[in-house]
């Protein structure tokens, strides 16, 4: 508890992170205050019972204790963000839940949450809520089917921060401390969406709703992964807009994926004979679900399907060679991997192909004499 970090994203808008290293959760707090000192305290996607000690400590530091919570906003119904709610409702007698009707339909199955303490977003006359006690207003934005039918986002006009729940969330691929996204965060975001979002149609419609906000959000704060700010807001939204996910990947006939699966299995068979210890480590790592999920589908020890794009799958194996292999064997193992891919004519981003090298030579003829020989 002594190392609990409360990060301020904007005026009265705070973040604490759970401790998972590969797929952490973000819990947000918003404290609305006016000049006379009146306050309304909100917690967004409060988490699980394992988060309770941090919830109690954070609320005590920010607004005097959990009993002073007024609003609990839930983006959707998943237990990683809602299972602590019955405890919070019992200890915060003034608190009300704000969520979609679809979320409430499943949330109430926990039991012990009176329906009179639930406020359905669909019951508001508009999607803007005016907080009379402090003079603030907030806007609810649908993230329908991203990834839940009743998923909702929350826009804070005071800070221009959009809390997005699972949408725009990601696996932890950025190295180092901190909580703001960098280019390294994109791999985790694309992986998360490819696996958990049902279709690109839902993503496009959600982004279209975001772009209608005025002003445009300066910060996107998801429930998982890194907080996105600055130029990366529009950059990452643009990339997500065209990203194939879920059933898009399942239903798209992709001969390249089938060839890649054959090449990966050929590579596994090859290293099994030459580098047995590395083979066992790699196979175990590819099968392991860890705190997130396996991206490779296995039948026995053979890969039969991929849950993400071919290029992302190849990149994962390429990176694992660097992590799992003995340093003296890394170059050889990479060479075998590239050889297996080229054997099945699978394009890859790791080294320039012979055709690319030839094109580069043709573009720089001044480096050669009339006989095609390099100048001394």
Whether 59 has a pLDDT exceeding 80, the answer reads yes
In a domain, residue 131? The reply is: yes
pLDDT tier at 249 (50, 70, 90 boundaries)? confident
Render pLDDT for 29-48 as a digit per residue (tens, 0 to 9): 999 999 999 999 999 999 99
Q: Can you give the pLDDT at residue 158?
A: 97
Render pLDDT for 317-326 as a digit per residue (tens, 0 to 9): 999 999 999 9
| Percent of the chain at pLDDT exceeding 90 | 76
Residue 52's domain comprises 7-244
In a domain, residue 193? The reply is: yes
Per the CB < 8 A criterion, the answer to whether 346 and 259 are in contact is yes
Whether 130 has a pLDDT exceeding 80, the answer reads yes
In a domain, residue 373? The reply is: no
Residue 192 and residue 93 share a domain: yes
Residue 223 and residue 90 share a domain: yes
Residue 192 and residue 289 share a domain: no
Whether 331 has a pLDDT exceeding 90, the answer reads yes
| Percent of the chain at pLDDT exceeding 70 | 91
Among residues 103, 69, 104, the alpha carbon closest in space to that of 88 is found at 69
Per the CB < 8 A criterion, the answer to whether 46 and 72 are in contact is yes
**Average pLDDT of 141-162?**
97
Render pLDDT for 344-358 as a digit per residue (tens, 0 to 9): 999 887 754 444 433
Residue 81 and residue 154 share a domain: yes
Q: Can you give the pLDDT at residue 359?
A: 39
Among 225, 244, 263, the domain boundary falls at 244
In a domain, residue 375? The reply is: no
Q: Can you give the pLDDT at residue 2?
A: 53
Residue 281 and residue 192 share a domain: no
Q: Can you give the pLDDT at residue 350?
A: 75
Residue 73 and residue 179 share a domain: yes
In a domain, residue 363? The reply is: no
Render pLDDT for 4-25 as a digit per residue (tens, 0 to 9): 999 999 999 999 999 988 899 9
Residue 226 and residue 101 share a domain: yes
Among 244, 274, 301, the domain boundary falls at 244
| SS3 track for the chain | CCCCCCEEEECCEEEEECCCCCCCEEEEEEEEECCCCCEEEEEECCCCHHHHHHHHHHHHHHHCCHHHCCEEECCCCCHHHHCCHHHHHHHCCCCEEEECHHHHHHHHHHCCCCHHHEEEHHHCCCCEEEECCCCEEEEEEECCCCCCCCCEEEEECCCCEEEEECCCCCCCCCCCCCCECCCCHHHHHHHHHHHHCCCHHHHHHHHHHHHCCCCCCCEEEECECCEEECHHHHHHHHHHHCCCCHHHHHHCCCHHHHHHHHHHHHHHHHHHHHCHHHHHHHHHHHHCCCCCCCCEEEECCEEEEECCCHHHHHHHHHHHHHHHCCHHHHHHHHHHHHHHHHHCCCCCCCCCCHHHHHHHHHHCHHHECCCCCECC
Angstrom distance (rounded) from CA 246 to CA 138: 31
| Residue 22 phi, psi (nearest 5) | -110, -15
Q: Can you give the pLDDT at residue 329?
A: 95
Overall domain count for the chain: 2
Among 212, 227, 244, the domain boundary falls at 244
Q: Can you give the pLDDT at residue 372?
A: 41
Q: Which CATH number do you get for residue 129?
A: 3.60.15.10
Residue 158 and residue 35 share a domain: yes
Residue 175 and residue 317 share a domain: no
* pTM confidence score: 0.77
Whether 363 has a pLDDT exceeding 80, the answer reads no
Residue 314 and residue 227 share a domain: no
Exposure string of 279-300, with b = 16+ CB inside 10 Å and e = fewer, is beebbebbeeeeebeebbeeee
Residue 200 and residue 60 share a domain: yes
Q: Can you give the pLDDT at residue 306?
A: 86
In a domain, residue 311? The reply is: yes
In a domain, residue 202? The reply is: yes
Among residues 159, 119, 156, the alpha carbon closest in space to that of 141 is found at 156
In a domain, residue 158? The reply is: yes
Whether 162 has a pLDDT exceeding 80, the answer reads yes
Render pLDDT for 266-310 as a digit per residue (tens, 0 to 9): 999 999 999 999 999 999 999 886 545 667 888 889 998 888 888
Render pLDDT for 79-107 as a digit per residue (tens, 0 to 9): 999 999 999 999 999 999 999 999 999 99
Whether 375 has a pLDDT exceeding 70, the answer reads no
Residue 206 and residue 127 share a domain: yes
């Amino acid at each position: 508890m002594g190392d609990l970090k409360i990060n301020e994203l904007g005026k009265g808008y705070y973040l604490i992170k759970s401790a998972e290293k590969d797929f952490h959760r973000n819990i947000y707090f918003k404290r609305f205050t006016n000049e006379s000192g009146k306050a309304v305290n909100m917690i967004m996607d409060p988490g699980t019972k394992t988060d309770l000690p941090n919830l109690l400590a954070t609320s005590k530091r920010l607004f005097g204790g959990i009993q002073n919570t007024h609003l609990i906003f839930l983006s959707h119904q998943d237990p990683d963000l809602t299972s602590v709610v019955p405890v919070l409702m019992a200890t915060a007698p003034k608190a009300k839940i704000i969520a979609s009707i679809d979320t409430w339909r499943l949330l109430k199955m926990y039991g012990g949450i009176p329906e009179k303490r639930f406020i359905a977003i669909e019951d508001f006359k508009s999607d803007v809520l005016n907080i009379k006690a402090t003079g603030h207003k907030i806007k609810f934005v649908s993230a329908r089917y991203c990834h839940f039918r009743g998923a909702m986002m929350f826009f804070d006009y005071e800070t221009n921060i959009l809390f997005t729940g699972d949408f725009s969330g990601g696996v932890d691929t950025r190295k180092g401390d901190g909580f703001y996204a960098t280019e390294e965060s994109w791999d985790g975001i694309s992986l998360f969406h490819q696996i958990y979002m049902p279709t690109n149609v839902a993503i496009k419609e959600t982004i279209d709703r975001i772009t209608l906000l005025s002003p445009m959000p300066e910060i996107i704060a998801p429930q998982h992964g890194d907080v996105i700010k600055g130029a990366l807001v529009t950059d990452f939204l643009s990339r997500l807009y065209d990203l194939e996910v879920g059933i898009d990947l399942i239903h798209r006939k992709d001969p390249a994926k089938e060839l890649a699966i054959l090449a990966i299995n050929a590579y596994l068979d090859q290293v099994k004979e030459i580098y047995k210890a590395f083979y066992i480590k790699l196979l175990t790592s590819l099968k392991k679900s860890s705190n997130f999920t396996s991206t490779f589908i296995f039948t026995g020890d053979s890969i039969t399907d991929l849950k993400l794009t071919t290029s992302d799958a190849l990149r994962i194996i390429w990176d694992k060679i660097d992590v799992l292999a003995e340093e003296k064997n890394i170059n050889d193992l990479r060479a075998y991997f590239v050889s297996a891919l080229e054997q099945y004519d699978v394009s890859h981003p790791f080294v320039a192909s012979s055709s690319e090298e030839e094109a580069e030579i043709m573009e720089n003829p001044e480096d050669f004499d009339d006989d095609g020989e390099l100048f001394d």
